[in-house]
C-alpha cells in the first residue's frame, strides 16, 4: 500500500490519547498511537514527520515514571509534548520539573492563556484564549534554548518552544474541545512545523486499499460475516468493490433487528455482483431463546447460535482463502490495554476464525477511526442510513426486550422504536445524540383507553450523548418532542399504555438495559 506521511503519538497513558490521534487525522495527516516503550530503532524505521508525546497520570520526577529514550531528540524530527509529555521533554533536555509548591501553580480546567503568536505553534491565533489545563507539576527551570511562548496569570511557562530544533511543549491539552483554537495549534504543528502534505484522505485510502486487496487476494475466495453495522458494511463494500463476485457476504438475519433493517442492508448491497447470502434464522434464534430471561444467558445463546448458523453456511461455501473482519483502530489500540471488569460480555461478529476453514484474515479497516470508516463508506456510495447508523448491540433487540423474548414482544418493540427514531429525525435531533432507542420493559401497569381498563407494557425511551460509550449522559430531549413520541406510540402500537424516559447517566446505569 502507498506509504503516507506518518505522525507518531507516543502514549504515556493519558486519557485523551486517542483523541490526539483523531485530531491529527482530521487534518489529513496519518497518525498512529504507540507505547512510550517503542524502541528507538523502530521509531527511526517508521520515519515519522513529527512526534507527539501525550499526557499521562504520572509525575516525571517519580523514579518509575514512564519515559522514552532521550535519543528521540537526536533524530531531527519535530516533537510536541502535551502536559506530561511537555514536562518529560523539559526534564530529558536538562530542565527541572517539580511538584507545584503552592496551589497557584497547579492548574485545572478552563484557564485564560496568553500566547506569543510569533511562535509557529500559535501562528494565526488571537493573543489570548481559553485553554484546558490539568496539571499539578511545574517546570521550575525550562531547558536551555527554550523560549517561553505561553503563560497564564499563575504560570509563566504553560508553553515552551525551541524553534531552532523544532521542539514544542504545552502544559494544556490542545486536543480537547475546551481549548479554544486547539485544532489550529495542532494544524500549525503539522503544517508549519512538520511540513505535512496532507496526504491522508479517504478517497485515496479507498483507491490504495482496493489495489492492495486485489493484489493480495488474486483469484482467491473471500468470506465476510455482515452484521449490518457500519464497520462490517463498509468492509463489505470495500471488498465488493475490490474483488466483486469472489466475495461471499453472509448476513445472518436473526430476527432481532430493528424495523426494516434486514431489507435495507440487502438493498444497499444489491448494486454489487457479489454472492449475498441472507440467512433467515429468526425461528432458530427464537426457539433457542424461548423462556430465557437472564441477560447474560441471552447473550451467550445468541453468540453461540450465530456461530452455528455461520458454520452451516460456511460449510455450504466450502474452503475460502480469506476471512474479512471489520476491526477498527480503537479496537486495536484498546486490545493492547485493560483488564477491566466484565460488565457485559459483548458479542461481536468477530471471533469466528475457529469455526471456518480459511487461510488468512483481512482487516481492511484496522487503521481507521469510526468517523473515517463512515467517510470511507460515503466514498463507496453506501447509503447515508447505513453509514450513519448508530451502534447496535450484536444481540440486537433481544437485550432490549427485558425478560423473556417472544416474536410478539419484538414486533411491539420494533414499531415503538421506529416511531421514536422517526420523530427524532423529524425534529432534527438525530445528530444531537450518539445513541437512542426504545426498551420494552417487563413491567405492566394499569391504564385507561377509551372507556376501558388496560393492563399493558411500559416502554422506556433511552437517549444518550457520549464520546466513548464508556461514560454517557442522558440526552435532554425537549418535552414537546417526548410528548409527540409518547402520543404516537400509545396510539399506533398495541400493548403499550405507559412510556417513561430514562434519565440516568452511565455510570451508574449502562446505556443498554441488559
Q: Identify the burial level of 118 via C-beta atoms within 10 angstroms of its C-beta, where 0-12 means exposed, 13-18 middle and 19 or more buried.
A: exposed
Q: Within positions 345 to 364, which residues make up the interface with ligand XMP, using CB under 6 A?
A: 346-348
Pick 116 or 505: Cβ nearer ligand XMP: 505
Q: Among 31, 86, 175, 313, which one carries the catalytic annotation? A: 175
Among candidate residues 60, 12, 50, the one with its CA nearest the CA of residue 34 = 12
- Residue 434 CB, shortest distance to ligand XMP, in Å, is 8
| Minimum CB distance to ligand XMP, residue 183 (Å) | 26
d(CA 337, CA 324) in angstroms, rounded, equals: 24
Min dist CB 390 to ligand XMP, Å, is: 8
Please state, in angstroms and rounded to a whole number, the distance separating the CA atoms of residues 122 and 352: 49
Q: Please report how close the Cβ of residue 258 comes to ligand XMP at its closest, in angstroms.
A: 12
* Nearer to ligand XMP among residue 296 and residue 360 (C-beta): 296
Q: Which stretch binds ligand XMP (CB under 6 A): 200-208, 254-262, 343-351, 411-419?
A: 343-351
H helices of 40-123, in order, are 40-46, 84-92
For residues 402-441, which are near ligand XMP according to CB under 6 A?
Answer: 435
Contact 16, 55 (CB under 8 A): yes
14, 166, 326, 395: residue in contact with ligand XMP (rule CB under 6 A): 395
Measure the CA angle with vertex 132, ends 126 and 135; round to 5°: 130
Of 256, 250, 306, the closest CA to residue 278 belongs to 250
Determine the 3-state secondary structure of 337 from DSSP: coil
Select the residue interacting with ligand XMP from 123, 178, 370, 506 (CB under 6 A).
506
d(CA 61, CA 70): 15
| Cβ proximity to ligand XMP, 63 vs 343, nearer residue | 343
Site string for ligand XMP, 442-481 (x = CB under 6 A): ---------------------------x------------
For the question of residue 119 being annotated catalytic, the response is no
Q: Which residues contact 323 (CB under 8 A, 6 or more apart)?
A: 222, 223, 224, 352, 353, 356, 358, 360, 361, 362
**Catalytic pick among 31, 68, 83, 249:** 83
Please select the residue that binds ligand XMP; options are 393, 401, 419, 486, rule is CB under 6 A.
Answer: 393
Write down the least CB distance from residue 421 to ligand XMP, Å. 14
d(CA 262, CA 253): 7
Q: Within positions 280 to 309, which residues make up the interface with ligand XMP, using CB under 6 A? A: 299
Interface with ligand XMP (CB under 6 A), residue from 56, 255, 394, 463: 394
If one asks whether residue 507 binds ligand XMP (CB under 6 A), the answer comes out as no
Based on the residue annotation, tell me whether 175 is a catalytic residue of this protein.
yes
CB of residue 100 to ligand XMP, shortest distance in Å? 36
Distance, in Å, from the CA atom of 300 to the CA atom of 449, rounded to the nearest integer, reads 39
- CB of 299: closest distance to ligand XMP in angstroms? 6
Q: Which 8-state DSSP code applies to residue 401?
A: B
With the CA atoms of 40, 41, 42 and 45 taken in that order, what torsion angle do they form, in degrees rounded to the nearest 10? 120
Piece of 270-278, 355-363, 377-385, 387-395 that binds ligand XMP (CB under 6 A): 387-395
Q: Stretches 196-204, 251-259, 287-295, 391-399: which one binds ligand XMP (CB under 6 A)?
A: 391-399
Concatenate the DSSP letters of all residues of 438-460 into one string: EEEEEEEEEEEETTEEEEEEEEE
Which residues are annotated as catalytic? 83, 173, 175
Which parts of this chain interact with ligand XMP (CB under 6 A)? 299, 343-344, 346-348, 391, 393-395, 435, 469, 506, 510-512
Amino acid at each position: 500500500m502507498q506509504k503516507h506521511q506518518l505522525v507518531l503519538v507516543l502514549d504515556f497513558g493519558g486519557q485523551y490519547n486517542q483523541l490526539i490521534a483523531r485530531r491529527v487525522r482530521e487534518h489529513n495527516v496519518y497518525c498512529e498511537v504507540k507505547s512510550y516503550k517503542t524502541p528507538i530503532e523502530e521509531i527511526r524505521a517508521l520515519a515519522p514527520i513529527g512526534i507527539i508525546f501525550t499526557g499521562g497520570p504520572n509525575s516525571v520526577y517519580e523514579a518509575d515514571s514512564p519515559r522514552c529514550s532521550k535519543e528521540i531528540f537526536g533524530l531531527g524530527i519535530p516533537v510536541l509534548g502535551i502536559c506530561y509529555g511537555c514536562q518529560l521533554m523539559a526534564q530529558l533536555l536538562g530542565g527541572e520539573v517539580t511538584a507545584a509548591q503552592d496551589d497557584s501553580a497547579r492548574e485545572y480546567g478552563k484557564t485564560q492563556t496568553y500566547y506569543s503568536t510569533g511562535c509557529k505553534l500559535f501562528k494565526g491565533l488571537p493573543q489570548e484564549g481559553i485553554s484546558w489545563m490539568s496539571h499539578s507539576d511545574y517546570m521550575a527551570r525550562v531547558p536551555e534554548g527554550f523560549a517561553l511562548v505561553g503563560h497564564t496569570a499563575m504560570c509563566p511557562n504553560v508553553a515552551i518552544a525551541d524553534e531552532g530544533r523544532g521542539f514544542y511543549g504545552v502544559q494544556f491539552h490542545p486536543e480537547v474541545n475546551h481549548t479554544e483554537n486547539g485544532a489550529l495549534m495542532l494544524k500549525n504543528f503539522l503544517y508549519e512545523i512538520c511540513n505535512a502534505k496532507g496526504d491522508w484522505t479517504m478517497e485515496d485510502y479507498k483507491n490504495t486499499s482496493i489495489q492492495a486487496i486485489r493484489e493480495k487476494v488474486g483469484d482467491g475466495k473471500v468470506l465476510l460475516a455482515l452484521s449490518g453495522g457500519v464497520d462490517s458494511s463498509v468492509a463489505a463494500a470495500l471488498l465488493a468493490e475490490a474483488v466483486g463476485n469472489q466475495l461471499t457476504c453472509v448476513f445472518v438475519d436473526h430476527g432481532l433487528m430493528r424495523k426494516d433493517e434486514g431489507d435495507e442492508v440487502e438493498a444497499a448491497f444489491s448494486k454489487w455482483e457479489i454472492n449475498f447470502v441472507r440467512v433467515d434464522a429468526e425461528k432458530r434464534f427464537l426457539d433457542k431463546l424461548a423462556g430465557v430471561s437472564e441477560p447474560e444467558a441471552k447473550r451467550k445463546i445468541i453468540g453461540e447460535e450465530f456461530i452455528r448458523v455461520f458454520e452451516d453456511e460456511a460449510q455450504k461455501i466450502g474452503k475460502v482463502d480469506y476471512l474479512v473482519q471489520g476491526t477498527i483502530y480503537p479496537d486495536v489500540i484498546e486490545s493492547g490495554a485493560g483488564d477491566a471488569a466484565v460488565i457485559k460480555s459483548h458479542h461481536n461478529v468477530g471471533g469466528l476464525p475457529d469455526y471456518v476453514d480459511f487461510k488468512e484474515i483481512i482487516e481492511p479497516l484496522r487503521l481507521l477511526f469510526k468517523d473515517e470508516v463512515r467517510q470511507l463508506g460515503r466514498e463507496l456510495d453506501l447509503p447515508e442510513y447505513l453509514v450513519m447508523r448508530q451502534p447496535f448491540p450484536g444481540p440486537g433487540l433481544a437485550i432490549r426486550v427485558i425478560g423473556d423474548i417472544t416474536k410478539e414482544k419484538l414486533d411491539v418493540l420494533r414499531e415503538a422504536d421506529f416511531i421514536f427514531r422517526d420523530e427524532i429525525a423529524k425534529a432534527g435531533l438525530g445528530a444531537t445524540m450518539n445513541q437512542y432507542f426504545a426498551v420494552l420493559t417487563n413491567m405492566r401497569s394499569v391504564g385507561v383507553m377509551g372507556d376501558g381498563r388496560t393492563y399493558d407494557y411500559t416502554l422506556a425511551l433511552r437517549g444518550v450523548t457520549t464520546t466513548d460509550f464508556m461514560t454517557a449522559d442522558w440526552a435532554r430531549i425537549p418535552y414537546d418532542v417526548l410528548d409527540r413520541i409518547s402520543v404516537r406510540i400509545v396510539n399506533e402500537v398495541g400493548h403499550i399504555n405507559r412510556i417513561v424516559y430514562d434519565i440516568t447517566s452511565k455510570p451508574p446505569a449502562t446505556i443498554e438495559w441488559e
